[in-house]
Chains A and B, each alone.
Chain A
Amino acid sequence: MSTPKRDEPKSAYFLVDQKDREIRTTFCVLVDNEAGVLARVVGLFAGRGYNIESLTVAEVDHLDRTSRITIVTSGTPAVLEQIRHQLERLVPVHKVFDLTAEHPGIERELALVKVAGTGEKRVEALRLSDAFRARVIDTTHSSFVFEVTGSAGKLDAFIDLMKPLGLVEVSRTGVVAISRGAEAM
């Protein structure tokens, strides 16, 4: 081709290839339950390019007005350390706890799963739900709503199994987590 060759543009910035492996981590963040606090946390993740795989939030102490935010994220060890420090920098944040690195934790998620169908498939859905210890919380002649609790992986597996059996709709809470043992975070 005869297009004139322009030299490659150059820059005083530089690119680096990321070598470290990404790790999945769950952060528990205790915050003052004041207006805009969730926006601060979410904005921090968006603005600095961290990803959020799951996020839950609710007030956990009504007298003290503190909320607990659980964030599942992934990143290289250096990025995870940054995320933690950046969270701690937010003024309404009391405490940040890394459940993967510091203390083994337990994670739970709840899903409501609607499955519609009749005959064999309906029976099979009910049988499987029993194996997952899901509860039926709504039923019609042609549908169930299951409530199922467990790790995110267990919910994924349950939902996958429901797909061929008439899966209609899924609603999930996102992960909540707490550390094992006697101590508080």
Chain B
Amino acid sequence: MSSMTTQSQDPTGAEIVVRALKDHGVRHIFGYPGGAVLPIYDALFQDDAIEHILVRHEQGAAHAAEGYARSTGKPGVILVTSGPGATNAVTGLTDALMDSIPLICITGQVPTHLIGTDAFQEADTVGITRPCTKHNVLVRDVKDLPRILHEAFYIATFGRPGPVLIDIPKDVQFRRAPYVGPSNIRHRTYQPRLKGDLKKIEQALEMIAAAKKPVFYTGGGVINSGKLASHLLREFVRMTGFPITSTLMGLGAYPANDPQWLGMLGMHGTYEANLAMHDCDLMIAVGARFDDRVTGRLDAFSPNSKKIHIDIDPSSINKTVRADVGIVGDVAHVLDDMIRLWRARQLRVDGAALSAWKLQIDGWRARKCLAYKTSNDVIKPQQAIERLYELTKGRTTYISTEVGQHQMWAAQFYKFDEPNRWMTSGGLGTMGYGLPAAVGIQVAHRDALVIDIAGEASVQMVMQELSTAVQFDLPIKVFILNNKYMGMVRQWQQLLHGGRYSHSYSEALPDFVKLAEAYGVVGLRATKPEELDDRIREMINTNRPVLFDCVVDQMENCYPMIPSGAAHNEMILNDNSEEAAVSEAGKVLV
């Protein structure tokens, strides 16, 4: 150890961790113990200020922390051991990086002198997680620990949020050093820009005033920017009267029950949203990143529009789609300036053009692209979500999802009117996200109704977290749309691979009701349309975790769908339109 004076009354590294967490207002952490983090667990044991939620798998801890973070706007914290503990968390870290979720991940590491010797449960954690974290650090000296912890919170939450990992060798957890509080942390190099360039904002406003066929295209950045951003977005969108669509990650920032709302866009977006994007003459992208699931075929993406792009991450601007005006800044800051300058300069939109544009959009809406046929014998998955929405809409409800058709139906049919109520794995598309995310959400919102809309395949990936829900009295509802298929895979195989259903049937499914009983949660099942409402009510009124087996039509496809290498205006709307639409394709990748 260095010669700098450390006194026996100084805290240990482990105690420093707990103090720093408290100083950053952390109330809950999600974790799993092991040899390399025992000192930190010991420090937690002696302190009641932080509630530790013991998960059943480190991936569960990471997704739970994501759900916690996304539903509160605060960073989620996880604590896992070295080696397998760290590697198990990798999927969750990657998921958080892709969706810009602030996480702090503390991993134990073998003692400093054993690093590099292939010690028991040693893994090169910072090496493994370098590409799947916003930043990561191996702490070699306990004196650096307070600063590193404070900087981690700053980096995870400031600018475009993301996961930060701190790897702490066991000897560093035992050693002592003075604790330094978090005041005035400002990182040496990392200082993202929050305020947008006013000249560019003015230029954008002129384009907005001149637009004849405008559309707002908003994304997860609005949610990440905070409640104020959603508020300002609503204000500005209403001031202009422009139509608005959003990505999967941005749902809830603008109320789905508003007449200007077009629904979600992208591969499974609505006809009206995608055609408005295709035909617009001005696109105002706010905190959205032109993901390939949104743009479809790039060379045919919105060919006649000028594009304004607001994003806090300069690398998002011009990455895949060229912006005519790129504004780097935080959404709330930029919208605030836009509204202020719009008023100050007394700008007006082109009302006549806008009316004509809205008429055109109404024509697209009239196609009723989300319509589906109900049946007397079998529950349609869309119907299940619609009923779930109708029966829960008056409550404070948080929805998470797994990945697949059910996720897209949830996005299409559950109407979100508030930000932070919708938690889904967008960028990484991680099956197994929804159940642990629901655990995390419920930890943060004890009295709310928290529902994981799941598929029977996805839910089995991190299912063991039901046990966590039981242990901590978290009455999460897992609503499984059970189509006995990896439905999204089956749909692609049907539409893109000649109906060869290679390994997409969910063989040997468990009896979910019995499984529920084994876990000590309530099992419910609905198989007939007439049972649906009563069972959903029963689920809502049960103040314990529920595993709901909603048996639905096996062969239902999720439409609209933008097929192979197609543009926004070449959507498949239903089972009968597929031939014509897919035939042009043939460009292969994955």
Contacts and interface: CB of A to CB of B under 8 A. Distances in A.
Interface in A1-46: 6-16, 32, 35-36, 39-40, 43
Interface string B312-341: 011101110010000000000000000000
Given A82-B319, A85-B314, A13 B292 contact: yes
A4 B495 CA distance: 20
Interface stretch (A90-98, A104-112, A169-177): A90-98
A181 interface: no
Contact of B299 (A6, A16, A88): A16
B298 A82 contact: no
B138 A35 contact: yes
Nearest to B500: A6
Interface string B175-194: 00000000000011110000
A93 B190 CA distance: 8
Contacts of A160: none
Contacts of B127: 39
A12 B297 CA distance: 9
B565 A14 contact: yes
A32 B188 contact: yes
B497 A85 contact: no
Nearest to A86: B315
Contacts of B563: 10, 12
Contacts of A92: 189
B587 A11 contact: yes
B50 to A, nearest CB: 26
B588 A10 contact: yes
Nearest to A95: B189
B126 A15 contact: no
A78 interface: yes
B587 A14 contact: yes
Contacts of B590: 11, 13
Contacts of A119: none
Interface in B99-158: 126-127, 130-131, 134-135, 138, 140, 155
A81 interface: yes
A164 interface: no
Contacts of A39: 127, 130
Residue among A16, A36, A91 with the highest chain B CB neighbour number at 10 A: A91
A8 B138 CA distance: 49
B577 to A, nearest CB: 16
Interface string B27-60: 0000000000000000000000000000000000
A62 interface: no
B370 interface: no
Interface in B174-228: 187-190
B313 A11 contact: no
Contacts of B492: 12
Given A9-B496, A13-B292, A16-B298, A47 B589 contact: no
B26 interface: no
B249 interface: no
Contacts of A43: 130-131
B126 A36 contact: yes
Contacts of A14: 296-298, 564-565, 587, 589
B391 to A, nearest CB: 34
A38 to B, nearest CB: 11
Contacts of A141: none
B586 interface: yes
Contacts of A32: 188-189
Given A12-B563, A14-B298, A39-B130, A7 B498 contact: yes
Nearest to B589: A13
A10 B564 contact: yes
A4 B589 CA distance: 23
B319 A36 contact: no
A29 to B, nearest CB: 11
A16 B322 CA distance: 16
A78 to B, nearest CB: 7
A9 B138 contact: no
Contacts of A94: 188-189
A88 B135 CA distance: 13
Contacts of B317: 85
Interface in B539-590: 562-565, 582, 585-590
B267 interface: yes
A41 to B, nearest CB: 11
A85 B315 CA distance: 5
B426 to A, nearest CB: 16
Interface string B506-549: 00000000000000000000000000000000000000000000
Nearest to A64: B188
Given A39-B127, A43-B131, A91-B155, A11 B315 contact: no
Given A12-B492, A15-B587, A89 B564 contact: no
A96 to B, nearest CB: 11
Nearest to A8: B586
A88 B498 CA distance: 45
Given A9-B496, A11-B564, A78 B298 contact: no
A12 B492 CA distance: 9
A97 B404 CA distance: 43
A36 B130 contact: yes
Nearest to A34: B137
A6 B188 CA distance: 59
Given A32-B189, A88-B315, A10 B497 contact: yes
B382 to A, nearest CB: 21
12 contacts: A6-B498, A9-B496, A11-B496, A11-B587, A13-B292, A13-B565, A32-B188, A43-B131, A47-B131, A88-B314, A91-B187, A91-B190
